[in-house]
Structure 1
């Protein structure tokens, strides 16, 4: 049985709620799911004493999310994402709410009652942007999937959780570096239900913004869009609302909605159709 009266368990469930609002924690489609729907985490299975019975933890599930077709798009798309994870002590593989990725391989460098600090290699599950997504993108080329190196830190105190991360492209696909910060407050009206909400922001490097919002002379000639250069800076601010419900000892279901606003050079890009972006979704997973 999962002991929900255990303070450690409450913090893990808080991490589950935190993972939901990462749907748009980064402007990149794939990294935006980066803190989210698919990655609700696997709470430790405990005995009545609160002592973990095994260093192994597993989660199996899936989610469905409606999100912008690409950063700055006016149209949306539906995506199905898995929630499969394997954890052994401080090491993890698959979906992880702290690393905020559906495909991650990493480890916690430090953990205590308040802090979780770790590093991971992550890979995009969803293709970030394709010319076929929208007529406006014709001639711009596809934004390729890539691998990222990530450092993350999560701090929880009572009903408040803060999360920060830095990710950088390590596969040479012009995806640059993004840094995020999010603050989440939690409320539990009943023991089985965790509600959470809070603000966040994303900073993006010039390489990232150029890839998603810039238009080179070659792209301009092919697409008909004017040339545009995008520099580094604040890329997005957001506010997210989430809910996680424990329907049984090992089953979680949840929903999330994130309201994001592009900022900086992303707002004036000829690629951008809409600066306000909404992402929402549902998930379910089984913990064992």
Structure 2
């Protein structure tokens, strides 16, 4: 499976990681294609560094599991995608179209920063992800839509990314490329809007939002096969908030940095 994302930047980094894990599997001489009924299982620990909330000045560090599990390149659990399916896939991984239930650690709590008091909390929750990608040579273009299905008010996000995969050696892969994320009105209102009631409680000025471009970003990724069984990876996303996300009184920093690093053991 090859997927990329730009969900709020945290999943952007992991989306880039997923895409290039798949590419690395294609190049890895230790992985021998054995026909249709093939399991690929790779698991390990990971760390994710990301803003405490969208527009936050401070970062937070979270331990996360790193999963790369698939069956026949059809059903998978990979990155932040808890469970997914490639409904359509092209010969030689030329394209994929599918759906997944994706985890999302993005949230905002009043306790995160004094200036958030009175705004209320925005909880994290799973999202329904619909995705498609198409590869030509070393380039992969992808689009993904993420819909809140937990009633957290995080609405809908749509991302588009272009990634160049460069296998520097048989064991070392580097990947990079630009992307952008669009957010609907529900998302921008929940994460960046300030209603009259919230203004009175927090002291922040009222701020009305609408649908529009959330961010532009650059993904970078590297993976290295330490041995036939162990692989290390590092995904970095640097983004900049746009439109209402950039100008909201909630936002303290427009630049966003997200880092995901992991070490995985290949069982098969």
TM bracket (short chain): 0.7 to 0.9
Matching of residue 117 in structure 1 with residue 94 in structure 2: no
Q: Deviations over 1:31-55 (max 9, x none)?
A: 4455155887574898897334843
Among 57, 66, 70, the alignment partner of 1:87 is 70
Tell me: higher relative CO, structure 1 or 2? Use CA pairs within 8 A at least 6 residues apart.
2
Is contact 1:38–1:62 with CA below 8 Å preserved after alignment? no
Is contact 1:46–1:53 with CA below 8 Å preserved after alignment? no
Q: Which residue of 1 aligns with 2:42?
A: 59
| Within-5 A mapping of 1:212-227 | 212-227=191-206
| Alpha-carbon distance, 1:248 to partner | 1.3
Q: Distance in 1 between matches of 2:138 and 2:205?
A: 48
Segments of 4+ moved more than 6 angstroms: 44-49
Is contact 1:37–1:65 with CA below 8 Å preserved after alignment? no
| Alpha-carbon distance, 1:233 to partner | 0.7
TM-score, normalisation: structure 2 = 0.87
Q: Distance in 2 between matches of 1:187 and 1:34?
A: 18
Q: Distance in 2 between matches of 1:279 and 1:49?
A: 33
Q: Deviations over 1:225-278 (max 9, x none)?
A: 111111101110011221111111232112222210101111110000111112
Q: Secondary structure, in 3 states, of the residue corresponding to 1:190?
A: coil
| Alpha-carbon distance, 1:67 to partner | 1.4
Distance 1:71 1:58, change over 3 A: same
| Within-5 A mapping of 1:1-288 | 15=2, 22=5, 25-27=6-8, 29=10, 31-32=11-12, 35-36=15-16, 41=21, 43=25, 50-52=33-35, 54-89=37-72, 91-92=74-75, 94-96=77-79, 101-102=80-81, 104-112=82-90, 113=92, 114-124=94-104, 126=105, 128-287=107-266, 288=268
Distance 1:28 1:240, change over 3 A: closer
Q: Secondary structure, in 3 states, of the residue corresponding to 1:132?
A: helix
Q: What runs of 5+ residues in structure 1 fail to find an aligned partner?
A: 1-11
Q: Distance in 1 between matches of 2:31 and 2:254?
A: 50
Is contact 2:50–2:59 with CA below 8 Å preserved after alignment? yes
Q: Secondary structure, in 3 states, of the residue corresponding to 1:210?
A: helix
Quote the RMSD (CA, aligned, Å).
2.6
Q: What runs of 5+ residues in structure 2 fail to find an aligned partner?
A: none
Q: Distance in 2 between matches of 1:281 and 1:121?
A: 20
Q: Secondary structure, in 3 states, of the residue corresponding to 2:226?
A: strand
TM-score, normalisation: structure 1 = 0.81
Greater Cα shift, 229-238 or 46-55: 46-55
Q: Distance in 1 between matches of 2:236 and 2:149?
A: 30
Paired residues, number: 262
Q: Distance in 1 between matches of 2:141 and 2:62?
A: 27
Q: Distance in 1 between matches of 2:144 and 2:259?
A: 22
